[in-house]
Structure 1
Amino acid sequence: MESMQTDVLVIGGGLAGLTAAIAARRAGAEVLLVCKRRPGRSGNTLIAAGNLTSLPEDDSVEGLAIDTFGGGREIADPTLVRTLAEGAAEAVDFLQGCGVRLLRVDGRLQARRVPGHSRARTIFPELGAVPVQTAGLTLTLPLLAEARRLGVRFAEGLMVARLARNGERVAGALALDGSGGWLALRARATILATGGGGRLYAGSNNTRDITGDGYALALEAGAALRDMEFIQFHPAMGLTPVRIILPTTLFGDGAVLRNRYGERFLLNSVTGGEPVAGRDEMSQAIDRELRAGKGIGEGVYLDLSQIPADLAATRYAPLWALLRRRGCDPAQNMPTVGLAVHFFMGGMVIDSHGGSTVPGLYGAGEVCGGVHGANRLGGNALLEAVVFGRRAGARAAAERTETAGVFDPPPAGNGPWTVEELTGLRAALRQLLWRHAGVIRSAEGLAAGLAQWRELDDTCRSWRLAEPVPLFLETSLMLRSARCILLAAQARLESRGAHCREDYPMLDDEWRGHLRIESGVGEGEPVVRFVPQELPE
């Protein structure tokens, strides 16, 4: 078996991974970054709308922390929330120092207010020649160039099968290359930056490589997870005339949702409507309209007619141009938008430096939980990636423990299977989660989902091959992560934020806290336990 040695191993090539790699390299560590596809050109950062929470001079750390904690329905980790807010100003400086160009008007950063934030603090990168559909390249490509300049090593096209352990420590990872060869990635410290799990669901705007690998990898290495029931559905997934995520800054600037009868239905459930509603509230309202037969196909109308002309000509110019090219004049025509799985609030338990509950293992970005609680405010995902990427990279670089982990490949199993059979199993898993762990859930649906999950898992286990391939390994990890979602959603007997139970429709103070998931004995079912909330001081 071939091997590669490094001080810090970063798994994931999006904004969090690149930031962590740069921070670790600047701290003097040798850094190897690996990912399933191409670093800087894959993962969800690529297609992010570009909204980035900042901290303007007239804003405060306390204000941002209060909005973030409240937006997460008061169950986020107060220390992580505070860390996020305190790191906002330096995160913007870091990005600009790496060559990221941010949109300015008359020399000043153009900050807009996103629903859930109490003031205008959301900024946006300057697109230049980058298409609006891949706005995230304005962030990742400058960071990729900076990482290369610093001497970060890269290995793309690697499927990480599991994290390697040496006693209680993580000592790197075992990966499979595209030709089926095993590779031992030996490291003093490992940073998970694999992103979320949007592609575990049938309806998602995530890129194809975001399949929840990191959750399963962390759990099997002994790390705890939290908040896995909280899946954010984006309320503005473009359906016609373009299939892209539309920025939620639109709602703070005058856009409103309307059903097929032209009614501004969000006012029925949220006082104040779009400017103040969270993504969870918007998504649940859209779902109710669709169930009542008041939608337009699979979505509703997005009325952009009240967006000010100066914003249409600056902040939204690329989007307006795209809509017009597709025959939709935003001042006169209404595009349709629907729901799509967008972001996972839950993930690996970390401390303020990205450290997991297992020595030697760190995390940054969407693979981690605790920062957002039950709902995420717009702009906080990119901020989280930078703030915790920097902190995880710096802390991981300080690791000095020499380890020699166990890198034995998984045992061979039975076959055969075909690519078509495996693809069908993956599609069934995605439909299962969309149907039973979607916007609105119930005890009956979740029980049915777990029963179907067991059938799929049994089938997948019967297909293990003597010659493993990346697609099969990815599917196995998808199944393990999906079980965590179902178990957590089944356990929380209330509705809070993005977790909505039709059989427990009210928020219940008895459930103010998070559900922690830890690995069971052997290959047994993960253990789910409730941890009461620690309130901020």
Structure 2
Amino acid sequence: MLEPDSSQRFNTDVLVIGSGIAGLRAAIAARQCKAEVVLLSESPAGFRSNSAISRAVFATAGFRPDTGDSPEAHLEDIISGGRLLSDRRLVAVMTQAVSRQVDDLQGYGVNFVRVESKLHVGRAPGHSLPRHLSVIKNQGINITRPMRHYAAGTGIRFIEGVQVTRLLRDGNQIVGALGLDIHGRIYIIAAGATVLATGGAGRIYRRTNNAVGSTGDGYALAYDAGAVLRDMEFVQFYPTGWGEDGSKMCFYEGLLPIGATIRNSPGEDVMVKHDLGDYTMVTRDKLARMIMKEIAEGHGTDGNLVFDFSTVPGDKTQLLQAVKRMSHITGQDSVPVSPTVHFLMGGIKIDESTGAGIRGLYAAGEVCGGIHGANRLGGNAISETLVFGEIAGNQAAAFAGKRSVIVPESDAVTGINNLNGLIPGNRTGSLERLWLSLRKVMWEKAGVIRDEAGLETALGEITSLREQLDLTSITDSTELYQAAKLAKALTVAEMICRAAMMRTESRGAHYRSDHPEEDTQHWLKNIEISRRDNEMTLTAVPVAV
């Protein structure tokens, strides 16, 4: 059994949870405000996160003045791409501030792709103008690694290999966090302010290209602490995933423009078949839905369509080889593809200052909702992490000041008792089997194509898995670590399914086969989720215009 007296204890001004781009940017900003900063993460800081494995492309107006692009044009593209559900105030903050992040990144040692000494500016589908900058080799690690190195040089303290199991409260204020490592050690970190930057939850699905560990911890932590979440029904599926369980991305944004084709089992070009010829306007939600419909109608092979590269003309061979390298494809003239979970648009409801509605708690990055609405346009994820990461760090440092914070022992003990409650069970079970069952039902019943019956099945399975987890006997610290993560993942899965059940229309990445049309008359609303009297409560709130 875990005991409070054996815990490792730390005190800091600002605690940042998560070490992707958002977490690193928040930590650096807070440290530049002279705050003492602890950055805590499950993975080695800057590594094995969605940021680190990203393509390192982000959208920002201002680097192609000849096109007439502007922050306002960027904002309108986001609002349109998000099917009118984005928080316009948050989007305005991001589009106005993101260009200033380029100089900061270069100051951290990040190198961008250049053509004749000028920054190369590209364009992604759904964006009306070219506004995308790329980091060398299109690898996110070439952002996070220099950021980590810079952060370490400023005196930020890293605590790695620890998952947070509870945000600690003193009355109506968050005052730190309780953590657990794989060896069963308890960590109690007292903090004047806390920033959640824990990323997404793709790993609760069977097919995903998300990093290991991306199971939604931050959503569940915020929910348990009393924060409001929004838009959790909107899960983005990258249309052309490939490899084992969709772990890789076949870069359709680069392949379609040079003549590659996506074909079904009869050999039809599905872009032509579905009249999606203008690739610049084919957003991820539209293409993912089209591919899954083809597969569902029996026009796939082993659950996939085929991305055919043989149609690329000879004068595009060099470009083809470059895109194939980015997609980790070697040699093949075609690869089997189908959608894979890529990103969650929903998350913690924040204000323009990244406040999460509870004193002392801030949030940044994918763990937040509101910026992308019903669908995220390519390149906006890193833009979001940079802008709101900096804001969160600044705001957390200002709130923390130099105030002395003491974690109430009773709240820490409650968190430890909750972990101890996972240990006893009256039968032997397999946590791996429970994880597999969750991922399977989420993919099959809460995936690209949804309906009421499937979502009800998923919710029933989630309830059953929670009961089975309670009965499973935990025999060592590794199993306890996984059980704690699974408990949070089940909460996140329930949020997604319940919000998807409530939204009786199709919009953006949320497609209901039993409600296939967008219904703006009744559903120009955001679904907010909160915990009231220990019950999950959903409320539909009209979009703020």
- The aligned residue for residue 277 of structure 1 is 282
Number of the residue aligned with 1:378: 378
- TM-score scaled to structure 1, two decimals? 0.92
Q: Is the 8 A contact 1:374 1:499 kept in 2?
A: yes
Q: State the match for 1:363 in structure 2.
A: 363
Partner of 1:13: 19
8 Å CA contact retained: 2:450, 2:512: yes
3-state SS of paired residue (2:112): coil
Offset at residue 150 of structure 1 (A): 0.8
Paired position in structure 1 for 2:292: 287
Alignment correspondent of 1:496? 507
Output the CA distance in 1 between the equivalents of 2:315 and 2:18.
38
1:520 aligned partner: 532
Q: Identify the residue that residue 387 of structure 1 maps to in structure 2.
A: 387
Of all paired residues, the percent bearing the same amino acid is: 37
Match of 2:38 in 1: 32
Matches within 5 A, 1:392-431: 392-399=392-399, 400=401, 401-405=403-407, 406-408=411-413, 409-411=416-418, 412-413=420-421, 415-416=424-425, 421-431=430-440
2:179 maps to amino acid = A
Post-superposition CA distance 1:82-132 (Å, at most 9, x none): 1111122012222122111111111122222111000111121112xxxx7
Deviates more, 1:77-86 or 1:107-116: 107-116
Corresponding position of 1:338:
338
The Cα offsets for residues 339-389 of structure 1, whole Å up to 9 and x where unpaired, read as 110000000001112110111111111100001000000000111111110
Q: Is 1:182 aligned with 2:186?
A: yes
SS at match of 1:383: helix
RMSD: 2.4
Instruction: Name the one with the larger helix percent.
Output: 2
Q: Which residue number in structure 2 is paired with residue 104 of structure 1?
A: 114
Q: Does 1:266 align with 2:271?
A: yes
- Residue 126 of structure 2 is matched in structure 1 by 116
Which residue is equivalent to 1:4? 10
Stretches of structure 2 that go unaligned for 5 or more consecutive residues are 1-6
Q: Which residue of 2 aligns with 1:459?
A: 468
* 1:236-251 aligned within 5 A: 236-239=240-243, 244-250=248-254
Pairing of 1:475-514 with structure 2 (within 5 A) = 475-509=486-520, 510-514=522-526
- Residues 143, 418 of structure 1: alpha-carbon distance in 2 compared, 3 angstrom cutoff: farther
Q: How many residues align?
A: 522
> Aligned ranges for residues 48-197 of structure 1 at < 5 Å?
48-55=54-61, 56-58=63-65, 59-127=69-137, 135-197=139-201
Greater displacement, 435-444 / 293-302: 293-302
Task: Say whether the 8 Å CA contact 1:173–1:186 is kept in structure 2.
Answer: yes
Query: What is the distance in 1 between the residues matched to 2:347 and 2:431?
Result: 26
Indicate how the Cα distance of structure 1 residues 506 and 313 shifts in structure 2: closer, same or farther if over 3 A, else same. Answer: same
Q: Are the structure 2 counterparts of residues 232 and 324 from structure 1 closer, same or farther at C-alpha, using a change threshold of 3 Å? A: closer
Q: Partners of 1:49 and 1:419 in 2: how far apart? A: 42
Q: 1:198 aligns with which of 199, 202, 209?
A: 202
TM-score, normalised on structure 2? 0.90
| 1:470 partner amino acid | Y
The answer to whether the 8 A contact 1:256-1:304 is kept is: yes
The alignment partner of 1:295 has SS state of coil
Q: Distance in 2 between matches of 1:251 and 1:342?
A: 19
**Structure 1 residue 246: deviation in Å?**
3.1
Corresponding residue for residue 4 of structure 2: none
Contact 1:239/1:338 (8 A) holds in 2? no
SS for the counterpart of 1:365 is coil
Instruction: Report if the CA contact (8 A) 2:26-2:390 is conserved.
Output: yes
* Contact 1:115 1:252 (8 Å CA) reproduced: no
